[in-house]
Structure 1
Amino acid sequence: MRRISLIVCSGLLACWSLQASQLSTYLAEPQLKAKMADVYGKAAVKRAEAYARLLRPRAGTTDQQKIVLVNNYFNNLTYSEDPKLWGMDDYWANPLEFIGARGGDCEDYSIAKYYTLMELGVEEKKLRLAYVKAVRYNAFHMVTLYFPTPKADPLVLDNINGRILPGSKRTDLIPVYSFDAKSIWVMKSRREGTLAGSADRLAQWTSMKSRFSSEHLRSPRRQL
């Protein structure tokens, strides 16, 4: 969570440089394992191997089972604010950095869940990232949304509340806007939004592409 300007949004969703079929193989590469151990410690290699196992196809697994699995997996990592962990006011870690550091903030949880669900075969059109206001904390927050159908009440994957509930049940969250790799929506309600433009013009996070490699793993300011 953070007190941030709503102008900050993400172009990173268009910048994921690896195809789903390549990610598990990439995680097994000795070069990546060596770099993970060097930057984050040997325990990070085991976390990366556990992540690779999570990505292995499971015949007959439903979307509902996948979102429970992924939500629980990432919610076991440790929450830490960017200035303390990365020494920056706002840093959106890619999933390998998040797993390597063994934690992060709300954006990191949400991004990792979003991409992992796509890797597991959940249709991209069913997934969005969303900025909301967390009423209890009076702070802006990010969550992952899963829409079973285009007009359905989305299910909310959240690191504050580990229960996966429909958006209509999350009255503690006020929707602001949501986005995916292509578009941005200003949220009129927990279920519907007004298309506000293309994500292609939001280029703040294009560095995500270059950082998703063994050569660009950011070292945390402190170990969790």
Structure 2
Amino acid sequence: MRPDPSAPPAAAATPSPALTWLRRALTAVLAASTLISLGSQAWDRSRMALAAQRLGPHAVAAVKILQPMLAEGAGQDETALLAEVNEFFNRRIVFTDDAAAWGQNDYWASPLETLEKGQGDCEDYAIAKYFSLLAAGVPVARLRLVYVRASIGGPGGVSQAHMVLAWYAQPLAEPLILDNLIGEVRPASKRPDLTPVFSFNSEGLWQGTGSTSAGDPVSRLSRWREVIAKARAEGFQ
């Protein structure tokens, strides 16, 4: 039977103040259980765990260690956090070129793809560290992925393309370098084997490591756009 449109609407029961408070508290608890907010950044615990389960057991095992690290990162000294994240990925990833790891000449893996594979090239190390530090609360302005020419074997050695992650305490400060070639986080001046070519993050693209803008990284670098989407689908923000 259709309702009579002329009939007055039934009066809605007004919840008591105690019930209203309880509903709000439960909503807050549920939100906190899945979304961990750290400053201006956040990561989604449930989405990350589900993404790891879809990828496989190596990703699941790694995420169980990674998530507590991210949760504790907001209250940690950033330089100590850099060393911890750098070591976490350097110890778990075996350097392998994309052709051997992915069957492609140039593939940019998401953090959890890299952890599941247990293999990756220099871009994969840098990408995984970048998104993990963002999730742990490091401001995006302090982080840049840097394409460099690396002199392998010291001065006069073989020069090859390479990628590292740079962290800046201040915009014009000398950056600290997170790398898979040398496990220790060092100031850029202590890495004479690296010559920067260009750098980028989620917000900008620069010549070298300077302040000269070279455009929008998301529109200029298609692989970067793709890996940002994959990382967000994995719970990284």
TM over 0.5: yes
Q: Distance between the aligned counterparts of 1:209 and 1:149, measured in 2?
A: 24
Secondary structure of the structure 2 residue equivalent to 1:56: helix
Counterpart among 98, 102, 108 of residue 118 in structure 2? 102
What percentage of residue pairs aligned between the two structures are identical?
34
- Residue 202 of structure 2 corresponds to which residue in structure 1? 181
The residue type paired with residue 35 of structure 1 is R
Distance 1:50 1:133, change over 3 A: same
Pairing 1:137-216 to 2, within 5 Å after superposition: 137-187=158-208, 192-205=210-223, 206-209=225-228, 211-212=230-231, 213=233
Residue 127 of structure 2 corresponds to 111
1:54 alignment partner, one of 47, 62, 69:
69
Q: Quote the Cα distance in structure 2 between the aligned partners of 1:193 and 1:25.
A: 37
- Per-residue deviation, 1:138: 1.3
Q: 2:167, 2:46 → 1: CA distance?
A: 27
Number of equivalences: 187
1:222 is aligned to none
The counterpart of 1:66, out of the listed 65, 74, 81, is: 81
| Alignment partner of 1:127 is 2:146 | no
Deviations 1:104-146 (A, max 9, x none): 0000000111111111111111110000000124110000000
Distance, in Å, in 2 between the alignment partners of 1:200 and 1:138 is 28
Give the distance between the partners of 1:59 and 1:121, measured in 2 at CA.
5
Residue in structure 1 matched with residue 96 of structure 2 by the alignment: 80
Describe the superposition over 1:158-191 as per-residue Cα deviations: whole angstroms up to 9, x where unpaired: 000111111111100011111111211112xxx6
User: Secondary structure, in 3 states, of the residue corresponding to 2:72?
Assistant: coil
Two-structure CA RMSD over aligned residues (Å): 2.0
Cα distance in 1 for partners of 2:187, 2:80 equals 15
Matches of 1:26 and 1:141, distance apart in 2: 31
- Give the number of the structure whose alpha-carbon radius of gyration is greater: 2
SS of the counterpart of 2:212?
strand
Structure 1 stretches of 5 or more lacking a match?
Answer: 1-18, 215-224
Distance 1:129 1:210 in 2: 17
Q: Is the Cα–Cα contact under 8 Å of residues 133 and 176 in structure 1 kept in the other structure?
A: yes
SS of residue paired to 2:44:
helix
Q: How far did residue 203 of structure 1 move?
A: 4.8
Equivalent AA in structure 2 for residue 98 of structure 1: T
Instruction: Please report the TM-score for the alignment, with normalisation by the length of structure 2.
Output: 0.72
Paired position in structure 2 for 1:217: none
Q: Which whole-Å CA distance do the structure 2 matches of 1:210 and 1:59 have between them?
A: 24
For the 8 Å contact 2:142–2:169, the answer to whether it is kept is yes
Deviations 1:78-108 (A, max 9, x none): 1111000000000000001001101200000
Other structure's SS at 2:71 match: coil
Q: Could you say which residue in structure 1 is the equivalent of 2:107?
A: 91
Whether the aligned pair in 2 keeps the contact of 1:27 and 1:49 (CA below 8 Å) is no
In the TM superposition, residue 59 of structure 1 has moved relative to its aligned partner by 5.8
Cα distance between partner residues in 1 of 2:161 and 2:52:
35
